[in-house]
Amino acid sequence: MSLTSPVPLVAGLATSAALALSLALAPMSGAAEPTAREGGASAGASVATTPGVLEKRTRTPFVFKGNGYGTSVEGGELPVDSSRLALSSMACTTIAGKKNRNFVEESEIPGLGTVRGVFSRVVSKKKGGTTFQTSKHKVAEVMLADSPLGSLSISGVVSTTRASFSAKDGWQASADTKIAGITFTPPVGDPQTIPIPSPGQTVPVPGLANITLGRTIEKPEPAKKRSRAYAVGVVVEVVPTGTTIKLARSMSKLERGFKTGIFGGSAIPVKAKVLGELVEVGRVVRQVMPCLGTDGELETSEAADVNLGDQVVVQAASARQKGKQTNRRAVGTEVARIAELDLGGGALVLDAIESRVKVTRLKSGKLKRSATFKVGSITNGDGEPQSLEDLEDLEIPGVLSIKTGLRKKIKDGIRMIGLRITLLDGTGAVIDLATSKLSIADR
C-alpha cells in the first residue's frame, strides 16, 4: 500500500535537512507540542452542540456505541477534509439515558459549495423491556458551487439507524435513508428536477456530479450477542474536482458481554496533519479496539509502505492489539510498529520503531498502565550510528523539530507517541509515528 499526500509536506528538506541532520544531531529546544482540537465544522460555520440527558441514566448489561455526521469530503484535487460536519458520537458505554446532539446552520466547503441545516443525534435508551441505541442525521440542503455547466442542489437527506434487544423480539437492527429532492439549474433556463436514484443506482449529472443513494447495512447477530446498523444517505462524486461527499451517515451498535471493563484504544503507525487545522493527509493502518476487547485474540493490520511528500518514507507499517476481560479483570495492549523510517532522502534512517501500551483494570477498580517506546537502530547520512538520546528535542531552525517518547496519562488509560516530527517551514505540518493508545473504563 502506498499513500502520497496531496500537498508537499517537506519543502526543501532533501537539501537543508540532509546536511543539518548529519552534522547537527544534538539535543536542542523543540517547538511546543501542538494542542489537538476537535473539528466539527469548517471555519465560519454556525455550530451548536448539545450533549444532554434524555432521562434518568441507568447502567445496563449492554454496551452502546453510536456515531455519525452530516457531511464528509474526501479525495480528489482539493486538499480539504470537512472534518465530518456536525459530528455526534457516543463512545462505548453501558449507560442508557444518554443523548448527544449537534447542529450546523450553514457551512462553506472551499471549492465545493454550501451546506445548510445539518443536524445529528445519537441516543442510548432503555424503554420497558427494550434496550436500544439510535442514530439520526439530517442535511437540509447541499448546494454545489456554480460552474459554467450550472449548479446542483440536493435537499432533505436523512439517515436513521437502530440496534436493539428485548426478551420478546431478540436482537434487532434497522437502517433507513430518505432524500427529498435533487435539482439541477442550467446556466440558461428553468431549474430541472432530477429523479431520485433507487438503491444501488447512480444518477449522472453530466460534467457536474454522479449521485448515488447511500447503502444500508442491518446485522442482527444473536450468536454473537450483538446487533449493528449502518446507513449513508447519499454519496456524491463531484466530477470537476474528483472529490466524494457523503451526506447523512449514521451507525448504531449494541452488544452484550460486559464483565469488568470497556475498552477504548487504537494503534496508528502513521498520522500526518497540515496547516495547523488537523486536516489529515495520511492515516495508515488505523486499528481500533472493540468495546469489549478481542476475546483474547491477537488482531493485526499491515501496510507495505507510506510516502509523505517523498521526504518522509515509511516502510512496513503495522498495528497489533489484544484485549480480554473476565469476571476478575480486563487487560489489553496496543502496539504500533514501523520497520524503517527514511527522513530527508537518507539523511536519517530509523529501524524497528515501536510503541506499546498496556492497561489492566481489576474488578476492585484498581488501574495499572504502562507505555514504552523503542528504536532498533539509528544512522545518519554517512552511515554512522546515533543514539535515541540524540533525537530528543532535536531542532533544525526553519526546517523541523523532533520529539520522542511522548507519554501521557489519559482518563482510564495511557497514550504513547513514539516520534513526532513538526515542520518549521510555515506549513504547520505535524507527523506522528508509532502512536498507541488504550483505556479501560468501568462503565
User: What are 172-185's pLDDT values in tens digits?
Assistant: 999 999 999 999 99
Among candidate residues 10, 2, 6, the one with its CA nearest the CA of residue 312:
10
User: Measured at the alpha carbon of residue 254, what is the angle toward residues 248 and 258, in degrees to the nearest 5?
Assistant: 145
Q: How confident is the model at residue 78 (pLDDT cuts 50, 70, 90)?
A: low
Once rounded to an integer, what is the mean pLDDT over residues 381-401?
A: 80
Cβ 145 vs Cβ 151: under 8 Å: yes
Coil, strand or helix at 224 = helix
Q: How far is CA 386 from the centre of its chain?
A: 34
Say whether 7 sits in a helix, a strand or coil.
coil
- Enter the pTM of the model: 0.75
Mean per-residue pLDDT, 154-175: 96
Least confident of 158-167, 296-305, 326-335: 296-305
Distance CA 14, CA 343 (A): 9
For the stretch 348-373, pLDDT in tens is 889 999 999 999 999 999 999 999 99
C-alpha cell at 360: 489492566
Q: Which residue in 48, 69, 13 sits closest to 431, CA to CA? A: 13
Instruction: Compute φ and ψ for 17, nearest 5 degrees.
Output: -70, -35
Give the mean model confidence (pLDDT) for residues 155-159.
95
Q: Could you tell me if 311 and 17 are in contact, meaning their C-beta atoms sit under 8 angstroms apart?
A: yes
Strand partners, 168: none
* pLDDT for the residue 308: 65
Single-letter amino acid, residue 116: R
CA dist 50 and 48 (Å) reads 7
% of the chain at pLDDT higher than 70: 80
**Residue 436 bridge partners (DSSP):** 267, 416
Q: Strands 413-423 and 312-325: what pairing?
A: unpaired
Q: What is the mean pLDDT of the chain?
A: 81
Residue percentage of the chain with pLDDT more than 90: 48
Which residue type occupies 410?
I
- Residue 424 in contact with residue 400, Cβ under 8 Å? yes
- pLDDT at position 355 is 96
d(CA 431, CA 13): 14
Spatial neighbors of 289 by CB under 8 A, at least 6 apart, are: 263, 264, 265, 266, 321, 323, 332, 334, 438
Q: What is the DSSP string of 110-129?
A: TTTEEEEEEEEEEEEEEETT
| Per-residue cell: 311 | 521526504
Cell numbers 462524486 label which residue? Answer: 237
Candidates 146, 137, 11, 4; CA nearest to 75 is: 4
pLDDT exceeds 80 at position 34 = no
Residue 402 parent element (H or E): strand 400-410
State residue 284's pLDDT score: 55
Of the pLDDT bands very low, low, confident and very high (cuts 50, 70, 90), residue 21 is very low
Which residues have CB under 8 Å from 169's CB, separation 6+? 130
- pLDDT, residue 83, reads 58
